[in-house]
Every structure is written in structure tokens, then in C-alpha cells.
Structure 1
Amino acid sequence: MSTVEHGRARLAGQLTALGVRRGGVLMVHASLRAVGAVDGGADTVAAALRDALGPAGTLVVPAFTPENSDTSAHYHARVRGLDDEQRAAVRAAMPPFDPATTPAPSMGRLSETVRRTAGAVRSTHPQTSFAALGPLADHVATGHHPDCHLGEDSPLARLHGLGAQILLLGTGFASCTAFHLAEYRVPSPPRRTYRCVVRDGGGRRWWEYEDVALDDSDFTALGADFERSGHGTAVRTGPVGSATGRLFGFPAAVAFASQWLPAHRGREPA
């Protein structure tokens, strides 16, 4: 059986048919494995997304870096079974975050392609940065406070204000970062301590800060209820390459999650 390769024009046409707004702002979470064989790989998928958005549109992707933190799930998985000396060696080898050069390997090939594209702007949070391409890239990425992962002083709040769309391209709602903005908007969200390596002059140092305790463990259930709800016309689905694309409005997703989370998560006593 021959493998069908998807081309740029076909992908762009499918994205337009799905409802990607020309001249709009689009945040994408993508699994290129799900999209299938593409002539030109991640570069072609990024180009097709920009074609669908048009020259006035802005493309945004997560460029998170859990690799330079010892409080991340990524770190705990990496050091599981290691002794204290081995853990210390892992921590000592973590490079400090540099928005210009630090890769985001856990975010996938599309995110890395967008991040490395000429003209891309990256926000400066050392753990949860975003990369953006297009006329509104500076507006989206600038002013990301280092002690605010995904709240009001992050690109997510800018995307909400712009009425952005979200595309889950071959991925599920578990990767929908927009839901995290809702975690900041519920009354008295729980908080926790985070720690990561940052640049200090020509060297490195550990930086510790407090922020909202992020939890995506129930995002699949939250997304399923959102998709069924029809809230704000909810979710449009359609083929993009070999993948299923889910397209929906950023404000609608946050509004639904802001009601769903308090109703479904147990609250700790004050």
C-alpha cells in the first residue's frame, strides 16, 4: 500500500474549510504524526497554517521548557529510580533558559519549526513561553511575567482578548492550554512553589517562585463536556491531512472551563 503525502495547498484548503479565520489569530497544538506523511514535513504544515491565516493572520504555538526545572513532571519522570548523586548530576547539567536559543523538544516539531522561523517572537517565561508569527506576534508575546505561567500576565490573556481561535490538530483536549487560564479565574485557586534554572549574567542560577498550581489531569473530561455543550457554537471538526482537526473559540473555551472547574474539582478546606 502506498503512503499518501499531503501537500501544502490541500492542507491549507482543509484548514479554511474547517473554519480558520483569514486575518485571525490562531493557537495550535499539533501532532504531526497524526497528520501523516506531508511533503516537506513540519515546514509545509506551518506554511499551510500561515496560508489559511493569510498575511494579516498570526500563528501562535506553545514553546514550553519543562526540561530546565526540578519541580516539573518531566524532571520527576527523568530522575525516577536515580539516587541522590545522580539526581544532583541531572540538576547540575540543566542549562539556563534563553528565549533566543533554548529548544522546546517536548512541544513537538511544529512548535520548534515556528519558534525557529525568521521573524518569530518568543515570550520570556523560563517555563511556559509561547512563540508567535505574524503582525500581532509582539502583542501576544510581550509582557509575559516570569511569575505567571498561564494567567493574566501571559500570552493566554492576550489571546483571549484578541478572540483567538484554537486548533487541536491530531491532539486531544488534554493539551488545550487555554483551559489553564480558567484555573487562574476561579475563586482562590490553589498555589504552589516552582523552581527552574535561569540565566544570571554569564552563568546560571536556580530561581524559585510561587504561582497557581496547574493541573491538566481532568482536561480530557472538561473538553468532552465542552464539545458536547455547544457553548459558543463549541467545536468544529474536520480532516486536516490524516488527522482530525478540532477548531473552537478561545473565549468560549475559557468561559466554559471557568464554570466547569469549580463544579468538578474538590476544594480544599480554607
Structure 2
Amino acid sequence: MEMISRDGLVEQLRALGVREGGVLLVHISYRAVRPVEGGPEGLIASLVEALGPEGTLAMPSATGDDDVAFDPATTANRNDLGVVADLFWRMPDVVRSPHFDAVAARGPKAAWITGGPFVLPPAAPESAIDRIRALGGQVLLLGVTHHANTMLHLAELVGGAPYRSDFHYVDAEGREVHYGENDSCCEKFELADDWLRAEGLQRKGQVGHAEARLMDAEALVRVAAERVRQDPLVFLHGPEEGCEECDEARESL
């Protein structure tokens, strides 16, 4: 496939609607985007350039090991977040939340986003995810779909989704702490695609070689939370569909 230049990536991002000076939460599959000039580093540089010096870039940076105390300076991301997100938190000028469900960010708003209170469930109001929404941030799904959209966990909670699955983490003192998280297989997060498209609230385009979706976090949370208010279990598979994760969520009710 054709190598996409860094300038070409910036043009694609701006054509899609990435706001210069804005806040952008990105979920990325580099495999879908490549090949691009400079590899994963070049893609990050293009995102930073598209946002400009007053913009703030954020990516999820949660650990995949709940049995080890989290260290923001050394603990790796969980594997499904991808190579770009795992590279990003290690870069100079990037700050990372000091807890296991971390967000990494670079730019003028990075310290405020990542320095918020530690809340449970991890995407609850006042979390880093919610702070991105509060700043008028955008969500970019780059080579992934709404299945990976962390902002929808905030929408579940705002809308009053009642289910909680049992999770735990190990704190700095080595104690195992259990908590309930609004969790499921997340496959039905894909419903948000139609909801947003129906209201003209999602832009689609190409970035690199990947399909990209861009939306305002506030609009996404508003639309999805209203659907949850109408049907609190809208994101769960039905009992007859044989989804173990969704069944666990239903059993918590």
C-alpha cells in the first residue's frame, strides 16, 4: 500500500474535523492505519501537529495486570490498547494518571486531565475521561469502532446503567481492593454508530489507510445516556444470546 506522509496525515485529520487547539481522545489500531511516514512515532507527531501547540492529545493507558500495584512510570498498557498508545505514554512531555485505569496526555490541558481524582467505577464523572468531555473534547476512533470507545462507559453511568461486575486492583500498599464496574463485552456499543449518524453527530473519513470516526464527546455522552435512560440494559446482549460477560452483568442486578 502507498506510504502516507506526515503532511498527508495532518491534512486528513483536519479534513475530518480535528480541531486545532482542541482536546482529542484517540483510540488507534496502527495495523489499520499503516504504512505511514515515521511509523507509530510519525502518526503521533501528525496528531500533535493537527492539534497545534494549544491542543491536547490523550490516549487510554490502563494496565492489563490488576494483581500488581500500578506505577505510572513503568507499568505497561494492556495489550489491546495497541502499539501507538503504549509508545505514547513513554514519550517526553506526556503525563499519565497515577492509577491503574490511566489516561496519558500531552499538551496544555494534560496535567488537569490526568490529575483528576481517582474515582470508581473508573469512567465515572470526574474521571479523566469525564474531564476530556468537560473540556469540549473530541473522540477519534482510528481503525477501530465504538467497541473500543471508552467514553461510552461514562455514558452508561450518566444514563444510570445499573449493572456492575466484580473487579479488583492492588493499591500502593499491596492491598487487593474490590469494586463494581459497569462492564460487559461492549459489542453493543456499536449501536452508537447509528445513533450518532441519525443526528448528524459523527464524521467519517480516512486517516492513513484506516476508516476514522470523529465525534464530540459531549454529544456522544448525551445521545448514548438518553438511550440508556430509555433502556438501562441496551448495551447488554440478551440472556438467550449466550454472552458470558453480559450475563455476568445481568446477574449483578
- TM-score bracket for the superposition, by shorter chain length: 0.7 to 0.9
Structure 2 CA distance for partners of 1:123 and 1:181, relative to 1, 3 Å: same
Q: Does 1:261 align with 2:231?
A: no
Structure 2 CA distance for partners of 1:129 and 1:144, relative to 1, 3 Å: farther
What is the match of residue 189 of structure 2? Answer: 219
Q: Does 1:51 align with 2:24?
A: no
Cα pair 1:125 1:144 within 8 Å, conserved: no
Q: Does 1:68 align with 2:68?
A: no
Q: Report the Cα distance in structure 1 between the residues aligned to 2:161 and 2:210, rounded to whole angstroms.
A: 38
Q: Report the Cα distance in structure 2 between the residues aligned to 1:186 and 1:212, rounded to whole angstroms.
A: 15
- Partner SS for 2:152: helix
| Deviation larger for 187-196 or 10-19 | 187-196
Q: How many residues align?
A: 235
Q: Output one character per residue of 1:48-87: Cα deviation in whole Å (capped at 9) or x when no partner.
A: 000000000000000121x212xxxxxxxxxxxxxxxxxx
Cα pair 1:183 1:214 within 8 Å, conserved: no
TM value normalised by structure 2: 0.86
Q: Report the Cα distance in structure 2 between the residues aligned to 1:209 and 1:240, rounded to whole angstroms.
A: 40
Where do 5+ consecutive residues of structure 2 fail to align? 235-249
Displacement of 1:121: 1.0
Q: Report the Cα distance in structure 1 between the residues aligned to 2:10 and 2:161, rounded to whole angstroms.
A: 42
Q: Does 1:209 align with 2:183?
A: no
Q: Report the Cα distance in structure 2 between the residues aligned to 1:169 and 1:199, rounded to whole angstroms.
A: 34
**Aligned counterpart in structure 1 of residue 215 of structure 2, from 230, 237, 248:** 248
Displacement of 1:156: 1.4
**Aligned counterpart in structure 1 of residue 98 of structure 2, from 108, 118, 124:** 124
Displacement of 1:263: 3.0
**Aligned counterpart in structure 1 of residue 155 of structure 2, from 165, 179, 182:** 182
C-alpha RMSD of the superposition: 2.0
TM value normalised by structure 1: 0.81
Residue identity over aligned pairs, in percent, reads 35
Q: Report the Cα distance in structure 2 between the residues aligned to 1:266 and 1:179, rounded to whole angstroms.
A: 13
Cα pair 1:35 1:241 within 8 Å, conserved: yes
The one-letter code matched in structure 1 to 2:123 is L
User: Larger Cα Rg: Structure 1 or Structure 2?
Assistant: 1
| Deviation larger for 54-63 or 156-165 | 156-165
What is the match of residue 198 of structure 1? Answer: 171
Structure 2 CA distance for partners of 1:17 and 1:265, relative to 1, 3 Å: same
Cα pair 1:149 1:211 within 8 Å, conserved: no
Where do 5+ consecutive residues of structure 1 fail to align? 70-93
**Aligned counterpart in structure 2 of residue 28 of structure 1, from 26, 29, 32:** 26
Cα pair 1:194 1:209 within 8 Å, conserved: yes
**Aligned counterpart in structure 2 of residue 103 of structure 1, from 59, 76, 85:** 76
